[in-house]
Chain A
Amino acid sequence: MQRDGGSFRDPAGNVYRGNGRVFRTVSDAGAADYEFARDSGFLSAMTAKNSVIEMTEVAPGILGGVAECRYVLEHPVLNFVSYPYEWCFSALQAAALLQLDLILEALDHDVMLSDASAYNVQFRGARPVFIDALSFRPYREGEYWAAHQQFCDQFLNPLLLRALGGVDFNAWYRGNLEGIPSADLDRLLPWFRKLSWRVLTHVTLPVKLQSGTRQKTASRLDAAAARRLPRASLGHLVRGLRTWIAALSPPTGKRSAWSLYESENSYDGDAKSLKQDFTRRFAAAAKPAILWDIGCNTGIYTEAALEAGAGEAIGFDTDTGAVEAGFARAAKNGTPFLPLVLDAADPSPGKGWRGRERKSLFERANADGLIAYALVHHLSIGRNIPLADVISWLIGLAPQGVIEFVEKNDPMVRHMLRLRDDIFDDYNRDVFMKAIRQDADIVETCEVMEEQRVLVWYRRRAP
């Protein structure tokens, strides 16, 4: 039983993992708040709606005395933990709306949320769920929303960067654990954006109010401390944010970016259905509980795998438009598919305190099935990563899967090589097949588009 590396900030309790189970301790310091949220009926109402993750009180002895605590809660295990810098716009938006809805529901039960961390939200498929059972405490009449700034940094500002500035938030968010500071966003926004009273209230004014001399700010803070924020005003503030965020969208429109993929990709309908059929055959035989789709695009092959027997799928792609489209479809159809924004050549590193607070992608690798279509040439030719290295990395991710190889005469590869020297002598089918056989057995292959492409179903050999 080991404490989670990201669980140390809250004195109310910690998360422990072991034997494939997840527990949360509730300390003496956190017991009263937990009891209040539980006895008010708030927690059970929220878990019934799947807004807050399920929790069961178990005997504290289950942890074998590793922690002093009043209660131990057991949570269901999430198959994959993702971070806000890996989410697409709609995912962060859905997480933000969940956070705000929880505040409003909590107020109805005289409960308040003690923080507004985006890391407290996780996804099951495209559905957000709040995972921190200890973020709740009694509402104190007239209190301020202490987590307002945190909410802005971690939810609102990244969304505004995309919606008002047209820039994806992922790289910046990954560079700063706590999100995008209002002061930075305020400097970037053009003046006419600040004519909006919402931008003014939530971004510009808080920045201006804490600028100025220390004495001036301190006296303003003293004055604020003497006042109260009526409950109705708090509700109004949160509802206003909710309406605003629900209406935000990326400026290019969600359709345009990904519809190009559906119409402009270099293979025809026959190749697509051939690949879908092969994917189904693989998924039906392998029945992976967790499938990773590297280079998932909008997720059409993942969906085929899910239909045929894969349990749950996580997709990765660099193209935010494609991820956006995949997320929208998964949300609409309720499929257990979570597409994430990620560059295979530059995946999420360990972050935060000691680099352990947020885990690297590889620490989270737990797939038992993999598909990687139209990916290898992007890494080998696009990013100069040796072909054999790409293959051994992919095979290392999951014990079985399907990898596609695209020959140099494929239109896409020809396009990539058009303006550069072909320095890729080792990029050919022989090297590809040899690299696969190095670590795995080949179960089946499938030729696509007159042998311009090949799908290889591998099964990794025990080391």
Chain B
Amino acid sequence: MANPMMARQSGFVFAISFAVFLAWHGPAHAYLDPGTGSMILQGIIGAVVGGLIALKLYWARLRNFLSSHRPGRSSDNRDRHPDNN
């Protein structure tokens, strides 16, 4: 499994591609205070990182499930936490 740093990096890149997709629309009127764009961006980063963590948990559960049904291997102590790999 990818190390958490890498996962965060790719999360970041994904967040940005997603945000680029969102961003290039509409006229440039700054109605709200100057910090708004930064807050929305951090929200997107938070959402994408949150999504990745959920995906990692599901992935870990799936691997756990599969390995427990594989003959000759024990599943204990493995993949309790996705970051323990």
Contacts and interface: CB of A to CB of B under 8 A. Distances in A.
Given A210-B37, A220-B40, A221-B32, A236 B12 contact: yes
Interface stretch (B20-28, B65-73, B74-82): B20-28
A213 B29 contact: yes
Contact of A149 (B24, B26, B38, B43): B38
B2 interface: no
Contacts, number: 130
A458 to B, nearest CB: 49
B31 to A, nearest CB: 4
A209 B8 contact: no
A431 B31 CA distance: 59
A210 B30 contact: yes
A197 interface: yes
Contacts of A145: 38, 42
Given A200-B16, A211-B26, A227-B46, A233 B8 contact: yes
B26 to A, nearest CB: 3
Nearest to A232: B8
B68 to A, nearest CB: 29
The interface centre, meaning the residue of A209, A221, A223, A230 with most chain B CB atoms within 10 A of its CB, is A209
A221 B53 CA distance: 23
Interface in A79-124: none
A293 interface: no
A227 B34 contact: no
A149 B34 contact: yes
Given A197-B16, A233-B8, A210 B46 contact: no
Nearest to B5: A236
A229 B27 contact: no
Contacts of A183: 28, 30
A383 interface: no
B42 A144 contact: yes
Where chain B touches its partner, the secondary structure class is helix
Interface in A23-42: none
Interface string A129-148: 00000000000001011101
A216 B43 CA distance: 15
B16 A217 contact: no
A6 interface: no
Nearest to A218: B32
A207 interface: yes
B32 A207 contact: no
Contact of B50 (A213, A218, A230): A230
Contacts of A217: 31-32, 36, 40
Interface in A330-359: none
The interface centre, meaning the residue of B28, B38, B45, B53 with most chain A CB atoms within 10 A of its CB, is B38
B25 A209 contact: no
B44 interface: yes
B16 A209 contact: no
The interface centre, meaning the residue of B20, B40, B50 with most chain A CB atoms within 10 A of its CB, is B40
Contact of A224 (B16, B27, B42): B42
B35 A201 contact: no
B23 A150 contact: no
11 contacts: A144-B38, A144-B42, A182-B34, A205-B37, A206-B37, A208-B19, A208-B37, A210-B31, A213-B29, A224-B39, A230-B49
Given A213-B27, A214-B32, 14 more contacts: A144-B39, A148-B35, A149-B35, A200-B16, A201-B41, A205-B20, A205-B41, A208-B19, A209-B19, A217-B32, A218-B32, A227-B50, A236-B8, A236-B12
Interface of B: 4, 8, 12-13, 16, 19-20, 22-32, 34-47, 49-50, 53
